[in-house]
Amino acid sequence: MRITAAAALTALTAAALSVAALAAAGAAGAAPTAEAAVAAQPLQRSAAGMHTFESLALSPDGARIASVEIERSFDSPAALHGPIVVRSTADAHVLERLDPCALCRYAGLTWSPDGRELAFIGSDPVKGEAQLALARGTQLTVLARIQGVAESPRFSPDGRELAILATVAAKKRTGALEAGAPPSGEIGVEFDEQRIAIVPERGGELHFVSPAETYVYEYDWMPDGRGFVGTAAKGDGDANWWIAELDAFDIGGGSRRIASFELQMSVPRVAPDGRTVRFIGGLMSDFGAVGGEIYEVPIAGGTPVSLTPGFRGSFTSLTWRGSRFLATAIVVDHATLLALRDDAGHTPQPLWSAPVTARAGDADTGVEVALSADGRILATAVEDFSHGPEVLAGPIARPRAITHENVSRTVTLEVQSLHWRNDGLDVQGWLIAPAAGGAARPYPLIVHVHGGPSAAVLPIFGTDYSLYTSAHEWVARGYALLLPNPRGSFGQGEAFTRANIKDFGGGDFRDIL
């Protein structure tokens, strides 16, 4: 639905006036209206939450899906325990259930190249220990134990070794917003060091590859298995991601710079021939909030060049499947999977798109899918404002829902994706209201602006870093919600994301009001 700026302003003004009228009626001692009575009641959080499918991974042959399945409450954002469940892609039949550690949080699920083994990380918060484990069916082997933090396990191309990002004696979990041990001694001297480490697939001693005093954020194997490419920075990992470089690390411990970049880099992926690296580059507010254009640089070093200048969307993940290069993106109000054609313009070709949030792996970009080795089968966990997460799987052009764990929790809402223009820019946002009466009826309005600002509101059933109360819970109390994606957001190209530089509270505020 497209509306003019004037119509949007009229609708928002009417909603705002309804709030003012309710307040005035209360102040005058008038009998409260039904809407006023509802709005005045404290919000009662739902004890029931939703069933989630986290760290989702698809086997190379596309026949099995592994994920950490958790019954997550809306009342607690804390990480909860749940088992690793392996299901059939055909009908979601449970094939295996793995839960070797009663207190651990599982993550980093990844299949071996031949699909016979599933690696994962189990983190025990009581022991302060991370385990790299390998499952062959229901047979489990612990390959390595790290006193600290570990994440992102990746098999070598030949499947004989596993790499991880490990932080020994970590003072906190990975992430700038995680609570840490109180600093002591000389401040600014000792920092956590997240390093690439490898271990044989049959177990053995952990061998660190990347140098000390260097914090590695993300990495990818070289096709020959003799080294890695990663984004990295010296010093405090929490403070320096914004200026990270693209580096190469060889198995023997050597390292060199491939490229520096004026903005931020995420998701480095080495081409199958080992000659170039592609990554997502752009203005990003925080590590993990990924969006930008696709850049390429020679592995020998050089200046990164955008392959997708002017793309009207924000890329969120990248992967090679043989010689085929695929990417996911936020395209205005849709999660989209695209293939980059091997032509002069690297034209993005849409393969699948839907107005949903799609999650796979450990990324939390809001748009991520898992693919089979040949790139023909897709799997992802999707949700929207009315429906809780379900696993979508099948051929990439026509995947279907194979699970039905949250069907009983479906809620009926009036949801509109609004589009308007302001200052010559196209702006998008979500308007959510009770289904009875829809958006045409005046309701007290909550305008919720996402953080970042390099981020985007996508349709979610639960809560996220910004929306601490789910949309349907507010609507159940009689409110309408406007969730705008003003300039500075992802989803409409890099120029749109950069449009609020040195203008916070200026143009972005005008986009909303």
Which residue spans of the chain are classified as CATH 3.40.50.1820? 5-42+412-512
Structure confidence by residue, pLDDT tens digits, 246-283: 999 999 999 999 999 999 999 999 999 999 999 999 99
Q: Which residue has the higher pLDDT, 31 or 449?
A: 449
Check pLDDT > 50 for residue 407: yes
Q: What was the pLDDT predicted at 40? A: 36
Structure confidence by residue, pLDDT tens digits, 38-65: 333 333 334 458 999 999 999 999 999 9
Hey, what amino acid is at 420? W
Q: What was the pLDDT predicted at 169? A: 65
**Are the CB atoms for 355 and 458 separated by under 8 Å?**
no
Average pLDDT, the chain: 87
CATH topology of domain 50-176+190-408: Methanol Dehydrogenase; Chain A (2.140.10)
Lowest-pLDDT range, 194-203, 355-364, 430-439, 454-463? 430-439
Tell whether pTM > 0.75.
yes
Q: What ranges make up the beta strands (E) of 299-345? A: 305-306, 314-321, 324-331, 334-340
Hey, what amino acid is at 402? I
Tell me how far apart the alpha carbons of residues 395 and 400 are, in angstroms, rounded to a whole number.
Answer: 9
Task: Report, as an integer, the average pLDDT of 205-229.
Answer: 96
Q: Which residues fall within 8 angstroms of residue 81, CB to CB, at 6 or more apart?
A: 70, 102, 103, 104, 105
Which residue spans of the chain are classified as CATH 2.140.10.30? 50-176+190-408
Structure confidence by residue, pLDDT tens digits, 313-349: 999 999 999 999 999 999 999 999 999 988 777 889 9
Check pLDDT > 90 for residue 205: no
Task: Report, as an integer, the average pLDDT of 8-15.
Answer: 39
Q: DSSP assignment, residue 172?
A: B
Q: What was the pLDDT predicted at 79? A: 59
Q: Which residue has the higher pLDDT, 13 or 350?
A: 350
Structure confidence by residue, pLDDT tens digits, 236-247: 888 899 999 999
Tell me how far apart the alpha carbons of residues 86 and 65 are, in angstroms, rounded to a whole number.
Answer: 6
Q: For tokens 């749940």, what's the residue?
A: 82
Hey, what amino acid is at 459? P
Q: What was the pLDDT predicted at 345? A: 72
For the sheet with 105-111, list strands across it: 105-111, 118-124, 129-136, 139-155, 161-168, 195-200, 207-208
Q: What was the pLDDT predicted at 237? A: 82
Check pLDDT > 90 for residue 453: yes
Hey, what amino acid is at 49? G
Q: What was the pLDDT predicted at 352? A: 97
Confidence band for 18, pLDDT divided at 50, 70 and 90:
very low
Here the tokens at position 101 are 């550690």
Tell me how far apart the alpha carbons of residues 451 and 454 are, in angstroms, rounded to a whole number.
Answer: 8
Here the tokens at position 36 are 């006023």
Confidence band for 464, pLDDT divided at 50, 70 and 90:
confident
The per-residue DSSP string of 271-305 comes to -TTSSEEEEEEE--SSTT---BEEEEEETT----E
Range 5-42+412-512 classified under CATH 3.90.1530.10: no
Q: What was the pLDDT predicted at 442? A: 85
Confidence band for 367, pLDDT divided at 50, 70 and 90:
confident
CA distances from 134 to 103, 139, 360, 424 (A): 18, 8, 20, 54
Percent pLDDT > 90 in the chain is 74
